[in-house]
Structure 1
Amino acid sequence: MKKLLAMAVMSLAATQAMAGVKLVVRSDYLYTGNYDNNAGAEVESSSVFTPDVARMYFSGNVGEAVIDSAFNLRSFVIGDIDGAGTSVQKVMTVDTFVEHLFITKNHGDWSFSGGKLWMNVGGFERRAFYDGDTYLTSLANGGMGGTAAGGLLGLTGSVLTPENSSGISAAYKIAENHKVEVQLYNQVNRDSALLTSTNKRHSYGLAYWGSFAEKMFQTYLSYNLGAGDDRATGGHELSYIAAGFRIAPMEGLNIDLEYLSNTDKSSATDTKDETTSTILEARYKMGMWTPILKYEMSTDKAADNDNFKRDAWALALELTPKAEDAFRYHVAYTSIKDRDFGAGFGANTEDMTKNMITVGFKYVGDIAK
């Protein structure tokens, strides 16, 4: 399978229609200090090198249509090889390899797309963490906190923004700097093996982008309604709301304020899970230096009950020695505090704070030139 995927990408890259072949790589050294989990037990420190992003982008034209695609060079899921849980290893699937792959046809101010779409969820932040341009990912967008008692991985929200999905879309350019798009796509837990999902409904969403005062003020608004049916627990009504505002009050300074709200209502229990995040980020480019400050406030609910809350912040500094250089270097300090744990975590829980230091680089280059 991997050979077939590699051959397909190479064939796509070799076609004369492809106008751009962009490689994006971000690699980090990540140090996490030791901390106490929510039961008071110490979690040992860790020191690792991580390939945060490794992705190839292809874009170009086939006749009057436009192809937009991205392929993850290092993206794995845990695979149970023998079906018994005794032989587990990391494997790459088609879904993890193909980040998005769709074709778009323009008709005046309208454009129509089909394929594995880039989903209009998660606000400005979602694009930033896909591109390796954030050092703190919010709870709603899948950011991990400390490891809670009895857990194996960092604590995440109950309802996360969905991955890219296959479907169709129609976009309309209202004016030069204003656009709306409607998407119709598969339910978020679609299972091609037909083992758990019923695949009987679709999800859909509406998104709007706009800018005002010569892009001094930009906004991003989206509302998605999702289906998450399965045979075990019945129907799930999902919703994803994103409201983002970007302000550029002076040259080099960008301030983002975003609100994300994800919900999952179960028809079997008539209860709702909810994950919300409010994000504030400021970037100030001063020549080769760009200091960044980001703050997050999040709340998680499970079955209508308070689950936990998160306060987190990150302070980072990026260095781009030459504007035309493909390399950027960065260092960041991130602190994530999970607190106010609900009854689902047991009695006598306490706040836990995970602190991390990140040092790394990012490369972005058109390797077709």
Structure 2
Amino acid sequence: MKKLLVMAAVTVAATNAFAGVKLVVRSDYVNTPSYDAADGVEVNSTSLFKPEVARLYLSGMVGDATVDAGLNLRSFVVGDIDGAGTGFQKVMTVDKFVEHLTISKPMGDWTFQAGKMWMNVGGFERRAFYDGDTYLTSLANGGTGGRVAGATPVANSGSVVTPENMSGIGAAYTITPEHKVEFQLANQTNSDSELATSNNRRHTMGLAYWGSFAEKMVQTYISYTLGAADNATAGHEQTFLGVGFRVAPVENLNIDLEYLANSDTISTTDAKDETTSTILEARYKMGMYVPVFKYEMSTDKVADADNFKRDAWALGLEIVPKAEDAFRYHVAYTSTKDKDFAAGDDVTQSMITVGFKYTGDIAK
């Protein structure tokens, strides 16, 4: 309780110092019908309410420098409360509370940044699921599927997923108003403040380009990040590649096409794990209604061998009754099929999502 009170006090103090204070909240009801796991055992249906996003965005100026922060109001990790592995509860850590916190200073066409940065990995989709604007997250960006085979089945996930935001420095150069490049130098992808899982011997480096053409009818990016996740037993050479296009062929229609490829090569064995995802999403605005369709095709490999493949799709409808209103309502149906396992049957998991999203400037 004391920690929560301190966090609340810091947040209130920060809102008084920042000019922009935006609150983003998305809350859902999610129903998952029963299905068969890869070993043929039936997984019972679930029904629950989920706080998908609860984040406070703060921005302000210090001279000509910009201070920008994103604070997670609900983002927990499992804590071992007795240190014996017998008692657990959800706890909030500083790393989870601070989604990003940076100071940026412009110098001509250059902008220099330091702090816990938004990493240029995961493309358009990563931004969308952070902000609660997607109903299906790809395997490469950490999306989970049905349960795999085994004595204790767990949700199926990719072997190499895009990393979270990390502390470091960045330098961005604006070539023209439509084209920009940025270099980032950050901590290891498995770096942690307790130094429990990382030796912190090397840095993560990344280069990204953003461009727009034909009066922003076509927007594109390409990013390549070299990661390191060294621990006590082995070194890890990681790469995160992202290529994406956002096209607006006609008014009110936006189409995203992305390819994400993540890999991790372990130094002791030279074996490579790899997770790749191809993503297509289309949104079409029709007055107060926005139909959304998304399709994902992914492949996962472990130690150079095929692990499984995923075909998934989502169909949703967003409703904004009033353009000036801060509330959006949504309903979506998602189907995820994991297949071609080395051992086990195909697994198809479906979800029905109903919820709302609030985005508003609470400083006004």
Q: TM-score, normalised by structure 2?
A: 0.98
Q: How do residues 132-281 of structure 1 correspond to structure 2 at under 5 angstroms?
A: 132-150=132-150, 151=152, 153-232=154-233, 234-281=234-281
Give the counterpart letter for 2:204 in structure 1.
S
RMSD over aligned Cα, in angstroms?
0.9
Give the match for residue 40 of structure 1: 40
Report the Cα distance in structure 2 between the residues aligned to 1:271 and 1:288, rounded to whole angstroms.
51
In the TM superposition, residue 205 of structure 1 has moved relative to its aligned partner by 0.1
Larger mean Cα displacement after TM superposition, 5-14 or 214-223: 5-14
Report the Cα distance in structure 1 between the residues aligned to 2:43 and 2:204, rounded to whole angstroms.
40
- 1:86 paired with 2:93, answer no
Give the match for residue 333 of structure 1: 333
- After superposition, the C-alpha distances for 1:84-109 in whole angstroms (9 at most, x for unaligned) are 11111110000000000000000111
* Structure 2: runs of 5+ lacking an equivalent: none
Report the Cα distance in structure 1 between the residues aligned to 2:273 and 2:187, rounded to whole angstroms.
21
Give the match for residue 299 of structure 1: 299
Give the match for residue 317 of structure 2: 317
- 1:8 paired with 2:10, answer yes
Q: TM-score, normalised by structure 1?
A: 0.96
- 1:364 paired with 2:364, answer no
Report the Cα distance in structure 1 between the residues aligned to 2:197 and 2:134, rounded to whole angstroms.
34
In the TM superposition, residue 14 of structure 1 has moved relative to its aligned partner by 1.1
Give the match for residue 67 of structure 1: 67
Report the Cα distance in structure 2 between the residues aligned to 1:353 and 1:320, rounded to whole angstroms.
31
Instruction: Classify 1:126/1:170 alpha carbon distance in 2 versus 1 (closer, same or farther; 3 Å).
Output: same
In the TM superposition, residue 274 of structure 1 has moved relative to its aligned partner by 0.2
- 1:282 paired with 2:282, answer yes
Report the Cα distance in structure 2 between the residues aligned to 1:153 and 1:111, rounded to whole angstroms.
44
In the TM superposition, residue 21 of structure 1 has moved relative to its aligned partner by 0.3
Give the match for residue 115 of structure 2: 115
Secondary structure of residue in 2 paired with 1:127: helix
Percent of pairs with identical residues: 68
Report the Cα distance in structure 1 between the residues aligned to 2:354 and 2:6, rounded to whole angstroms.
35
- After superposition, the C-alpha distances for 1:10-46 in whole angstroms (9 at most, x for unaligned) are 211111xx22100000000100010001011100111
In the TM superposition, residue 74 of structure 1 has moved relative to its aligned partner by 0.5
In the TM superposition, residue 132 of structure 1 has moved relative to its aligned partner by 0.3
In the TM superposition, residue 193 of structure 1 has moved relative to its aligned partner by 2.3
In the TM superposition, residue 152 of structure 1 has moved relative to its aligned partner by 5.1
Report the Cα distance in structure 2 between the residues aligned to 1:5 and 1:33, rounded to whole angstroms.
38
Report the Cα distance in structure 1 between the residues aligned to 2:100 and 2:9, rounded to whole angstroms.
17
Report the Cα distance in structure 1 between the residues aligned to 2:291 and 2:155, rounded to whole angstroms.
27
Report the Cα distance in structure 1 between the residues aligned to 2:173 and 2:235, rounded to whole angstroms.
32
Report the Cα distance in structure 1 between the residues aligned to 2:154 and 2:52, rounded to whole angstroms.
17
Secondary structure of residue in 2 paired with 1:161: coil
In the TM superposition, residue 323 of structure 1 has moved relative to its aligned partner by 0.7
Secondary structure of residue in 1 paired with 2:248: strand
- After superposition, the C-alpha distances for 1:192-231 in whole angstroms (9 at most, x for unaligned) are 2233311111001001111000000000110000000000
In the TM superposition, residue 307 of structure 1 has moved relative to its aligned partner by 0.3
Secondary structure of residue in 1 paired with 2:222: strand
In the TM superposition, residue 148 of structure 1 has moved relative to its aligned partner by 1.3
- After superposition, the C-alpha distances for 1:233-262 in whole angstroms (9 at most, x for unaligned) are x10000000001011000000010000000
Report the Cα distance in structure 2 between the residues aligned to 1:195 and 1:325, rounded to whole angstroms.
46
- 1:351 paired with 2:346, answer yes
Give the counterpart letter for 1:11 in structure 2.
A
Secondary structure of residue in 1 paired with 2:129: helix
Secondary structure of residue in 2 paired with 1:124: helix
In the TM superposition, residue 3 of structure 1 has moved relative to its aligned partner by 2.8
